[in-house]
Structure 1
Amino acid sequence: MKQELIITSAIAALLATSAVSATAKNATLLSPSGNISVAVEDAPDGNLTFSISANGEKLLLPSQIAMDFEGGKKARKIKSTSIKKDIKESFDAPFYRNPHFTTQCNELTVRLTDGNSVTFRAYDDGVAYRFSTDGKTGNVVTDEKALYNVAGNPTIYLPHSTNEKAPEAMAFQNFYTVTPISSASPLLAFLPTTLDYGDGLKMTILESDLESYPGMFVEADSTSRSLKGVFAKYPSSTDFYPWRKQEYVTGRENYIAKISGKRNFPWRIFAVTTDDRQMPVNNLVYALASPSRVADTSWIKPGMAAWEWWNDWGLRGVPFKAGINNETYRYFIDFAADNGIEYVVLDEGWYVPKSGDMLTTIPEIDLPALVKYADKKGVGLWLWTVFNVLDTQLEEACKKYSDLGIKGFKVDFLDRDDQTAVDMTYRIADATARHNLMLDLHGFYKPTGLNRTYPNVVNFESVFGMEEMKWSPTSVDMPEYDVTFPYIRMMCGPVDFTPGAMRNASKKDWKAVYYNPESQGTRAHQVANYIVQDSPFTMLADSPSNYLDNQECTDFITAIPTVFDETSIMDGKMGEYIVTLRKKDNSWFIGGQTDWNPREYTVDFAFLPSGKDFKVTILKDGVNATKQAQDYELETLTVNSGTKKTIHMAPGGGFAIRLIP
């Protein structure tokens, strides 16, 4: 028999600090400052509903949440409730955009007569809730109800699935469809998604602490102006694509998860912001994830990597045929060493993809010799592989390549987030951590705090990145996306966008080119990516030949750290422009980007310590960058805390600033 775990709301006064008997049918939980309120009510049909308001404005109307279990009794009665007030937490967050931060919230916990519970948290920058079970309710979760009734008619930013036949199976990469929710398509969309209520007020839906459970998608209903949570069903059968032995789902059960014992379910997060500058630095996903399971992180060394796939191993002027061979990778290693680049990635092809055997290299690759050569040059090597291929050979592959001296795996083509896919991810994260191997996850669902639980996971794709420039239609607007996703997608974790194009094109001139790809927008816009984007492990996506032809830009890029001490947003408006400020030791870095609209931006250096001069290098759009997107200018000057500097950004342009005392 199916059991529906339905929570009736619990009531406790906000000043209460211990469990109390529940007699009423509603409760209100306030954030520490009182700016955000969560109203929890018992609906007539027995479902728990909650609503969210910010500064008196309704964001969510009463919205039903519940969990369906197979077997057992229906849980409708409250046993007890408790409120914890003024929960303060401090976080040491290695390799995160702000390595030290604090949070503060109030918490309401509702305990049910069958031992299950739901917990609500109210922060000044958002709301979160999660279900918990004591393991007695049932071992099969048939579904989770999450029906979010949106107040008003806000504009919604939806990244829809790109797979019409099996929408829950795709790479989690798409641009945003922007529309009033009353006109939204019912196509399945992945998280995060943002609702814009006007006058700066926005709410972004995310999740955290996703473990052994499917991730959440949403479907919009334009008539009811609601978002329905959707979860991939548990796979019943799988098969493999022959060309790279990638596993895919061929059949699914009628339930979403199998569980055992006492456990928590993922946090559902509603990040509330009143200024777009707050969005890229909202920390709720990281804060609500499980703490680190890696005791010693001293071996984890993020950095930059020279990478061959985007430029198609595109060397010129060399005395050998460029491709997947020892000569090409020695050249990449030399380039990395000469330019202070920490790593080189060997992407697809170093083993035979269709073999599904990453323990055997192709004859053209002598991996031990390449590792030895790279080590002498002070360069580390990373290896690409497919998720299920690594999982099948997990312990043997981790031991072999860790012992050999490989620094990490770029793991690709998961393309799903059902429970078995999430379980595979945790197995891989744990095994690689035990063998001192870092991870860069591609073809992967959105970040849900895994980089806190396993800090060896140093980056995620889950973004409509530079690879799309190899095949996208001219209708794709990359500069606009570049100044949109940092506000939405980057809220949940870092991005492996793979920037660094040295071929740059204006809106009129751009076209997709597979073997010699080019970016939309200016050279300065490309360089600014390295400051705007959270990316502890980041690529130099273009060819060493192109970087050597543009040594000035290469030197500027490689002088930018990938991990910082402080991050903030100086200015910006989602979908239009962004200006990011970062600090590393005593140096500062500023990255600015615009959409296809040109704009003037005045940088105010008031953040600098008073009474101290800084040497500034500015890489900005050249006077001809509107038509010649590769045109840029380097300017050097001395500034202090009283200096203001106006910079012109061309269409699709930007700027990058380095300040050294």
Structure 2
Amino acid sequence: MIFLRFPSFALALLAIAPALGAQGARTVTSPDGATTVRVETGDRVTWSVARRGRVLIAPSPISLTLDGGRVLGRGARLRGADTRQLRDSVRPVAPTKSAIVRGRWNELDLRFDGGYALEVRAYDAGVAWRWTLALGDSVTVVAEQATFDVRGATPGWVGLDSTFMTHYEPAYRLVALDTLRGGRLVLLPLLVPLEGGPKIAITESNLESYPGMYLVSGRDSSAGGPALKGIFPAFALADSARNDRDVVVTKRAPWLARIAGRRALPWRVVIIADEDRALLENQLVYELAPPSRLADVSWIRPGKVSWDWWNALNVRGVPFRAGVNTATYEYYIDFAARHGIPYIILDEGWYTLGDLLTQAPGVDVAEIARYGATKNVGVILWTTWHTLDTQMTPALDQFQRWGVKGIKVDFMQRDDQAVVDFYWRTAREAAARHLLVDFHGAHKPAGLNRAWPNVLTFEGVRGLEWNKWSEEVTPRHTMILPFTRMLAGPMDFTPGAMLNAQPRDFRVVFDRPMSMGTRARQLAMYVVYESPLQMLADSPSEYEREPDAMDFLSSVPVTWDETRALDAKLAEYAVVARRSGAAWFVGAMTDSSARTLPLSLSFLGDGRWTMDLWADGPNADRNGMDFTRSARTVTRADTLQLRLAPGGGFVARLRPASR
């Protein structure tokens, strides 16, 4: 047995053998024997996937076109092929599902004449492939052919946009795959239920110095061609800043990226789930991401954040004029300190837009950070990406001198190579100054948070902020997200609204926003949704009026040692149990339908447990703010019946009973 060791990473190479298969074809099967990937080589390279004998993805061509017209994967001459059985063990710095991520997969390496290879992995929970290059100093990638001929597909859960300039904040809808043309771009992950079979999700990992992948229909008018194909934003030769945040590409190159000639390209990932609840436990994107590049991670501190922007700094009962000023932020710090919340954010308004080195009148960041330090509360500063890009070194140096703990970087709205490079450069430069990072206006996570674990979360979701201007963050929408967007990684949905209404009573009020659904549902999001930097979106004044809710919000963790998806149905409901240390937390959410769900406590350890419960009140179907709090002693032999109102929720905290 050979062991290769990396920081927070151990890889065990259990066996190596020549790949088996007919002439021109090689296969690799998942450790549980259920899933087989078949790669055929020759005039072209194709890949296909079968699960328990059923074809999920029919032979789909893949290739990489380089400058000079060279096409890797066409007329490919196979030089060698090996399969390996591998295991690894990773301890995430900010675990969203488990303290240890244990990986087990079988791998097929196909080496071709001409200095390139195809790496294919089969896991129990999905498959992935990527190209690896050994072609000299640099190459230009003109095009990538990544196709997915999905068989037996029903309409997929699709987030759409019409341009590569996107906040990645879609409303997910059921869409027939063959209609994804004419400028309809699929944002990843895409989730496709198969007729009578599993669900598959397509996404990517290890996205570095390369454009992000989108999907469109690969079929022409004669219904020929694969069901789906990848499409990528070409390199930006020129762009134009309309303001401090919107930087629009005005001229694109006839190629995708210029990259190092010796490197691996991003993984093309297909997650496979026989049960809906398995989607909530899948960590394949993280497993495929590159290992941490930080030797010292002791300074990285996940936690909750008191956020100012969503609630428009609406505080009351104070002797000062509330707004973007030092007195208001010190009030937020006092609130955070009282409730054990380790951070506050200074969102838009603290600096003169376009210049991170000039503070707005009435704001003294150094004083705010100093005051926070006396209360053990750190400060995170918001910035637009374009301004940070032009002032990165002096701005981050200044933040470090002020004692700031992190940055929230907003409005990238692109994932062509240059902007993907910006993400990685920001993560690296922030880490050099011990700054955490929260990316907003961002593409989906694709492995950056493992390589640079100071990157704690990403937006890339139609989150709570949309309640300020729309009626689109519905109970159904928020029940789709755990099965789609959250597959990619941490999700800064920004929950925590204390003004809650059923859909018929919901109103759009920008400066006094509310949520759609119940109070208990907002609390449940802190267990069901994953983000190691988790917002408390409402005003401190609203939270201080709700001591029962704050008891839960003060105690709920943001990182987890163990996750068990107890029951779930896509777009309808989810029941999730998570452990932190000795304590368990349970969160349940439903769509617009009231339902009763059984909760077996068999996941608990032996002995008696104290269970605190926050549930929809008897009138929550009329008034979303109605909830109950209770406590009881339970054991692992108990089963509860959870009665969820329409758009409702439930949370519980379980701790070993004192002896």
Where do 1:369-408 residues align within 5 Å?
369-408=367-406
Where do 1:92-131 residues align within 5 Å?
92-96=91-95, 97-131=97-131
- The aligned counterpart of 2:159 is 159
Task: Give the conservation status (yes or no) of the 8 Å contact 2:427–2:437.
Answer: yes
Say which SS state the counterpart of residue 483 (structure 1) adopts.
helix
Task: Give the conservation status (yes or no) of the 8 Å contact 1:72–1:137.
Answer: no
Where do 1:521-540 residues align within 5 Å?
521-540=517-536
1:62 aligned to 2:62? no
1:34 aligned to 2:33? yes
Query: How far did 1:105 drift?
Result: 1.4
CA distance in 1, matches of 2:642, 2:20: 62
After superposition, give the CA deviation of every residue in 1:421-476 in whole Å (9 maximum; x if it has no partner).
0111111100111111000111111001111100000111111100111112x4x2
CA distance in 1, matches of 2:150, 2:20: 32
Where do 1:204-283 residues align within 5 Å?
204-220=201-217, 223=223, 226-242=227-243, 244-283=244-283
CA distance in 2, matches of 1:138, 1:456: 29
Gaps spanning 5+ residues in structure 2: where?
1-13
Where do 1:337-348 residues align within 5 Å?
337-348=337-348
- The aligned counterpart of 2:452 is 454
CA distance in 2, matches of 1:63, 1:20: 20
Say which SS state the counterpart of residue 528 (structure 1) adopts.
helix
Task: Give the conservation status (yes or no) of the 8 Å contact 1:19–1:80.
Answer: no
| One-letter identity of the residue aligned with 2:593 | N
Where do 1:351-366 residues align within 5 Å?
351-353=351-353, 356-366=354-364
After superposition, give the CA deviation of every residue in 1:564-612 in whole Å (9 maximum; x if it has no partner).
11112111111000011111111110000000010001211111112x1
CA distance in 2, matches of 1:565, 1:238: 44
Correspondent of 1:179 among 166, 175, 179: 175
| One-letter identity of the residue aligned with 2:641 | T
CA distance in 2, matches of 1:575, 1:234: 36
CA distance in 2, matches of 1:442, 1:73: 38
Query: How far did 1:319 drift?
Result: 2.4
CA distance in 2, matches of 1:563, 1:41: 42
- The aligned counterpart of 1:148 is 148
- RMSD (CA atoms): 1.9
Query: How far did 1:77 drift?
Result: 3.2
Query: How far did 1:17 drift?
Result: 3.0
| One-letter identity of the residue aligned with 1:145 | Q
Alignment CA distance shift 1:137-1:364 (3 Å): closer
CA distance in 1, matches of 2:150, 2:320: 60
Query: How far did 1:22 drift?
Result: 10
CA distance in 1, matches of 2:593, 2:392: 48
Between the two proteins, the alignment pairs up a number of residues equal to 635
- The aligned counterpart of 1:467 is 465
Correspondent of 2:598 among 585, 602, 606: 602
- The aligned counterpart of 1:12 is none
Correspondent of 1:649 among 641, 644, 651: 644
CA distance in 1, matches of 2:117, 2:149: 22
Query: How far did 1:418 drift?
Result: 0.3
Where do 1:578-657 residues align within 5 Å?
578-610=574-606, 612-657=607-652
Task: Give the conservation status (yes or no) of the 8 Å contact 1:70–1:142.
Answer: yes
Task: Give the conservation status (yes or no) of the 8 Å contact 1:202–1:274.
Answer: yes
CA distance in 2, matches of 1:339, 1:185: 50
After superposition, give the CA deviation of every residue in 1:512-536 in whole Å (9 maximum; x if it has no partner).
2211111010000000000111111
CA distance in 1, matches of 2:118, 2:20: 16
| One-letter identity of the residue aligned with 1:567 | T
Alignment CA distance shift 1:16-1:605 (3 Å): closer
- The aligned counterpart of 1:82 is 81
After superposition, give the CA deviation of every residue in 1:382-430 in whole Å (9 maximum; x if it has no partner).
0000122222222222222123210000011110100000111111100
| One-letter identity of the residue aligned with 2:298 | S
Moved more, 104-113 or 535-544: 104-113
Query: How far did 1:551 drift?
Result: 2.0
Query: How far did 1:74 drift?
Result: 4.8
CA distance in 2, matches of 1:180, 1:70: 35
Alignment CA distance shift 1:20-1:500 (3 Å): closer
Task: Give the conservation status (yes or no) of the 8 Å contact 1:451–1:458.
Answer: yes
Query: How far did 1:19 drift?
Result: 5.9
Say which SS state the counterpart of residue 218 (structure 1) adopts.
strand
- The aligned counterpart of 1:133 is 133
- How does the TM-score come out when normalised to structure 2? 0.93
1:546 aligned to 2:542? yes
| One-letter identity of the residue aligned with 2:81 | S
Moved more, 532-541 or 77-86: 77-86
Query: How far did 1:138 drift?
Result: 6.6
Query: How far did 1:113 drift?
Result: 1.2
- The aligned counterpart of 2:653 is 658
Moved more, 416-425 or 322-331: 322-331
Query: How far did 1:363 drift?
Result: 2.1
